[in-house]
Amino acid sequence: MSAAPQKAKAGAEKIDVTVTAVVPLNDLVTRFEFQRPDGAQFPTFSAGAHTVVHMDDGGQPRLNPYSLMSDPAERSTYAISVRRDDAGRGGSLFMHNNVKVGDAMQITYPVNLFSLDLRAKKHVFLAGGIGITPFMAMIAQLERSNGNWELHYSVRSEALGTYVDQLTYKYPNKVHVYYDDQGQGIDLETLLDGQPLGTNAYVCGPKGMIDWVHATASAAGWPDANVHSEEFTAPQPGKPFEVRLCKSDKTIMVGENESLLEAIEREGVEAPFLCRGGACGQCETDVVSADGEFIHRDHWLDEDEHAAGKKIMPCVSRFVGKSLELDR
């Protein structure tokens, strides 16, 4: 138009927070709680939303998305639970090793790519491991509105059953826990077969579990629209590669332990983003020329677009080859 031209900022609005609790839950998972330094309330959020946590890892910015797992109606505190990934690029390690009570951090406004279908007559939650976190908020939201839900939660062992005690204590009839090391598993076919019309299923966990749920539900005649999943792809390390950014007139190196998006940001080039997990589509970038192979890891572009090599999602995808030029 432009009445008051304002450049869209990259990412969602940020909120300054203070770390108010660091609670180790087991060998792998720690809960972090945040409050606002000025004592103000957080925005209400819809269950299933995530926030992107900004970390300063010795000069290397790290921005990782984590599901908000606190009760959405509780506005004084936000909580996330972080699973330590020893083989990852360092974001979760930084959270576990460096973040202390009293630290000042920045997180983004909630963004929801995994919301409840409010038309559903019943909600069936299928969680694997750390995939429990969005369901903690969904359960809290549905309990307030008297919603109909049940949870099937698969964990490696009792020792790694994050929030199992709390859930089974509060909702003994709605929560079903399966222990891998005891040979237990979700009997998905039977479970899906017995659901009333209008049931929606939600799955959050490892990629294999998500694919299994979609395939099983589809084979059982469930409409795709009734099966919801969220898989954040954490950017994976990879071989360093060089990129030419045409608009900014810069040639940059993407290091082994940083994503293409992080490398672009490190060079001071503003690039749009939202989820940083290959799901939202906001960082989609046009490829000007490429001589080599893309390693597409996003869930945004379809197979044809991946094959065409005209677009890349720099938050999770990488490149191997001679040269790559981007329209950024």
Partner 1 sequence: MTIQFNKETFRDDYSFKNSDWAIERFPFPFHEDSYMYSVNMEQHRGGPEGSVYEKRFDVDEHYVSEMADRAMVLADDPLRCQSLPHMTLAGWDLLELIMVSKSEDYPDLFELHRDGDTWRWVNKPMGIDDTFTFMDETTLPYGPMEYITRQTQGDFCVLDQREDNLWMDAGMITTQADWSLDFDIGMNFFEWHAPVPKAHEMGIFQRALKFLLNIPQGAPARRLNWTMTVNPLLDTSPENYHKWGIQKTELTPENIGAKQHLRVELQSFFRLPRSNALVFPIRCYLIAFQDIVKSPKWGRRLHRVIRDLPEELATYKGFIDNRPMMLDFLSAYDDGLPTSPGVFPENETEPPLKK
* 6 lines the binding site for partner 1 (CB under 8 A): yes
Nearer to partner 1, 223 or 268 (CB): 223
Half-sphere exposure of 171 (CA within 13 A, CB side): 18
* 146 lines the binding site for partner 1 (CB under 8 A): no
- Residue 65 bridge partners (DSSP): 52
- Residue 326 bridge partners (DSSP): 245, 287
Q: Report in angstroms how near the CB of residue 256 gets to partner 1 at its nearest.
A: 30
CA distance 310 to 288: 7
* 301 lines the binding site for partner 1 (CB under 8 A): no
* 115 lines the binding site for partner 1 (CB under 8 A): yes
* 72 lines the binding site for partner 1 (CB under 8 A): yes
Q: Report in angstroms how near the CB of residue 120 gets to partner 1 at its nearest.
A: 8
Nearest CA-CA partner of 297 in 249, 235, 250, 224? 235
Phi, psi of 12 (to 5 degrees): -75, 165
* 135 lines the binding site for partner 1 (CB under 8 A): no
Q: Report in angstroms how near the CB of residue 115 gets to partner 1 at its nearest.
A: 4
Q: Report in angstroms how near the CB of residue 98 gets to partner 1 at its nearest.
A: 27
3-state SS class at 270: coil
- The bridge status of strand 311-312 relative to strand 285-295 is antiparallel
- Preceding amide of 2 cis, omega within 30: yes
Nearer to partner 1, 111 or 175 (CB): 111
Residue 280: CB partners within 8 Å, gap ≥ 6? 111, 113, 274, 300
CA distance 264 to 280: 18
Nearer to partner 1, 120 or 175 (CB): 120
Interactions with partner 1, residue window 204-263 (CB under 8 A): 225
Burial of 223 (0-12, 13-18, 19+ CB in 10 A): exposed
Please count the residues of this chain forming the interface with partner 1, following the rule CB under 8 A: 33
- E strand or H helix at 262, and its extent? helix 260-266
Backbone region of residue 274 per phi and psi (left: phi > 0; alpha: psi in -120 to 50; beta: other values)? alpha
* 12 lines the binding site for partner 1 (CB under 8 A): yes
* 178 lines the binding site for partner 1 (CB under 8 A): no
Q: Which two tokens stand for residue 13?
A: 């609005």
* 154 lines the binding site for partner 1 (CB under 8 A): no
Q: Report in angstroms how near the CB of residue 11 gets to partner 1 at its nearest.
A: 9
What letter does residue 236 receive in the DSSP assignment?
Answer: P
Q: Which of 20, 26, 35, 46 binds partner 1 (CB under 8 A)?
A: 46
Nearest CA-CA partner of 47 in 230, 227, 276? 230
Q: Report in angstroms how near the CB of residue 240 gets to partner 1 at its nearest.
A: 30
Interactions with partner 1, residue window 92-111 (CB under 8 A): 108-111
Q: Which of 13, 302, 303, 304 binds partner 1 (CB under 8 A)?
A: 13
Q: Report in angstroms how near the CB of residue 145 gets to partner 1 at its nearest.
A: 7
Q: Report in angstroms how near the CB of residue 68 gets to partner 1 at its nearest.
A: 12
At position 160, the amino acid (one-letter code) is L
* 327 lines the binding site for partner 1 (CB under 8 A): no
> Which residues of this chain interact with partner 1, rule CB under 8 A?
1-6, 8-9, 12-13, 43-46, 48-49, 72, 108-112, 115, 117-119, 141, 145, 225, 274, 280-282
